[in-house]
Amino acid sequence: MTQDKNAERKKEFRTTVDGTVVKQVYTAADVAQPGDTSLPAEFPFTRHVQGNGYRGRFWTMRQYAGFATVEETNKRYKYLYGQGSTGFSVAFHLPTQEGYDSDHTLSAGEVGKTGVAIDSLKDMEQLWDGIPLSDVSTSMTINATASIILAMYIAAAEKQGADPSKLKGTVQNDILKEYVARNTYIFGPGPSMRLVTDVIGYCAEKLPEWNSISISGYHIREAGSTAIQEVAFTMANGIAYVQAMLDRGMKIDSFAPRLSFFFAANTNLIEEVAKFRAARRIWANIIKDRFGSNNPRSQMLRFHVQTDGFTLTEQQPLNNIMRVTIQSLAAVMGGCQSLHTNSYDEALQLPTEQAVQVALRTQQIIAEESGVADTIDPLGGSYYMENLTNQIEKGAKKYIEKIDEMGGALEAIRKGYMQAEIARSAYDYQKAVDSGEQIVVGVNKYTSKTADETTIFEVDPAVEKKQTERLRILRQERDNLKVKSALEKVKKVAATNENMMPVLIEAVKTYATQGEISNALREVFGEYREPSIL
């Protein structure tokens, strides 16, 4: 077997698990189309969206956190703030993501398990206690209930005395990838797209420094896609959102500058850097040529990166520190605007404080010691890099053209096309791991019989009882007549074409819960049930 593998590695061409063709050596002849000779901050922004790269300032160093109660999560945020974190990224537990309060029967056993429980404005206020929202940048990973959670964030900021027009951050608000890869949706595609565009429109007018959507390839990659599929399906979803906004009568350059993206960083460093370069170039051309934008800021693909949780292994978890380091280097050399580094123990549990510190220090060492932030696009001009950038661009465009022929992303999702393509790639990858074709160190090669010792951090089962009691007290102390009136108004506006955000902000200020507001919307919009995909 070893001889066979060595013979395979000596071949001039190799095909990776995801189908990328790699040669032993590259020359100028391998760059079929000339390398992009544009400078950073010049169309099509292949090299970077900023002319001074990270010399102006480093990327935002975010750490994704959220667990158990708001008090515990607030404590973690304060810890990160003290360690030098320059941005926060909120993980919400599944009931919040799916529009259920913590005391709902379907929430049993899930409260605080995969993120923090946010049921009401009171929870949001306590989540940010002692952290001035006017001074920080916050990213919130929330989709089906994004409009409600953003409403709570705005209301909490106002109670702190912050000017909403100065708030900085991002709300994920990307419902299409939920139908493709993640499944935390509530309503059907039509009403869901209406809520997404309501948020984009509201932010364009009232929150000019807020990113109203983070069009996400991360979860597509986590579901098993290739790098090319991640770019292609993310771009196709982006096209759908832009078209939906245009259909509402908005001009492309009135909202496109605040669109943002979210990608995974895998361990194949060169391919990932090429992926980010190709994505910037593709999006710039889409916005300029397809949608007629004249504003360079609309054409710039700005993106957040999270290191790839799919690659983390339970076996030999300390190996994950090296995986995360390589993935972080790919994100930085690829020109990300913000970055979250996963903790080495995430394949086992909620991250410990030690693991979180190592994850943050990884970014800080890359920024301060590695030298990769000293120059823009440090791998640009490499024959291999330019060839691979072109390969990924060509492959992604082929997918986008096929999705266009189907009638766009919504139709491709309804037909199960994206889902089937991702499932096929995930199967091919797992088959390669099982056969040993794809090496995973510590899993199918260089394994150890010695068990790894890791400090286990678990959510206290009493969290659920504490959160449901908090809800009981809230409902007892608030003005329930105001809540009822606000919920009726939510239903009334939902049945029109009015923007939902103002009425949602009114509702959360009465301390109506996100579950109650979601139920009001369910009465108007109904609930979505995924069709069978053959």
- 3-state secondary structure labels for all residues of 226-271: CHHHHHHHHHHHHHHHHHHHHHCCCCHHHHHHHEEEEEEECCCHHH
Q: How far apart are CA 177 and CA 183, in angstroms?
A: 8
* Helices 383-406 and 417-435, packing angle to 10 deg: 140
Per-residue pLDDT averaged across 59-69, rounded? 80
Bridge partners (DSSP) of residue 23 are 13
Q: Does domain 6-435 have CATH number 3.30.70.260?
A: no
Among the listed residues 103, 80, 190, 163, the one whose alpha carbon sits nearest the alpha carbon of residue 524:
190
Question: Would you state the pLDDT for residue 4?
Answer: 58
Bridge partners (DSSP) of residue 233 are none
Per-residue pLDDT averaged across 132-142, rounded? 91
Q: How far apart are CA 402 and CA 172, in angstroms?
A: 26
Question: Would you state the pLDDT for residue 483?
Answer: 98
Among the listed residues 510, 91, 527, 167, the one whose alpha carbon sits nearest the alpha carbon of residue 342:
91
Among the listed residues 231, 277, 272, the one whose alpha carbon sits nearest the alpha carbon of residue 380:
277
Task: Tally Cβ neighbours within 10 Å of residue 336.
Answer: 23
Q: Are strands 60-65 and 21-23 parallel, antiparallel or unpaired?
A: unpaired
CB 339 within 8 A of CB 363: yes
Which residues have a Cβ under 8 Å from the Cβ of 325 and sit 6 or more positions away?
Answer: 362, 366
Per-residue pLDDT averaged across 179-189, rounded? 94
At 1, the pLDDT band (50, 70, 90 cuts) reads very low
Domain spans, the chain = 6-435
Question: Would you state the pLDDT for residue 126?
Answer: 95
One-letter amino acid at 96 equals T
Question: Would you state the pLDDT for residue 31?
Answer: 81
Q: Are strands 210-211 and 168-171 parallel, antiparallel or unpaired?
A: parallel
Question: Would you state the pLDDT for residue 113?
Answer: 86
Q: Are strands 168-171 and 60-65 parallel, antiparallel or unpaired?
A: unpaired
Q: What is the helix (H) or strand (E) element at residue 507, kind and residue range? A: helix 501-509
Q: What is the helix (H) or strand (E) element at residue 307, kind and residue range? A: strand 303-307
At 259, the pLDDT band (50, 70, 90 cuts) reads very high
- What percentage of the chain carries pLDDT values higher than 70? 94
Cis, bond preceding 191 (omega within 30 deg of 0): no
CA atoms within 13 A on the CB side of 56: 10
- DSSP conformation letters of 179-236: IIII----S-HHHHHHHHHHHHHHHHHH-TTEE-EEEE-HHHHHTT--HHHHHHHHHH
Tokens at 434, concatenated:
């099982």
Residues 222, 226, 232, 233: is their CA dihedral positive or negative? Answer: negative
pLDDT in tens, 291-314: 999 999 999 999 999 999 999 999
* Helices 146-160 and 514-525, packing angle to 10 deg: 140
CA angle in degrees (0–180, nearest 5) for 498-408-300: 75
pLDDT in tens, 386-439: 999 999 999 999 999 999 999 999 999 999 999 999 999 999 999 999 999 999
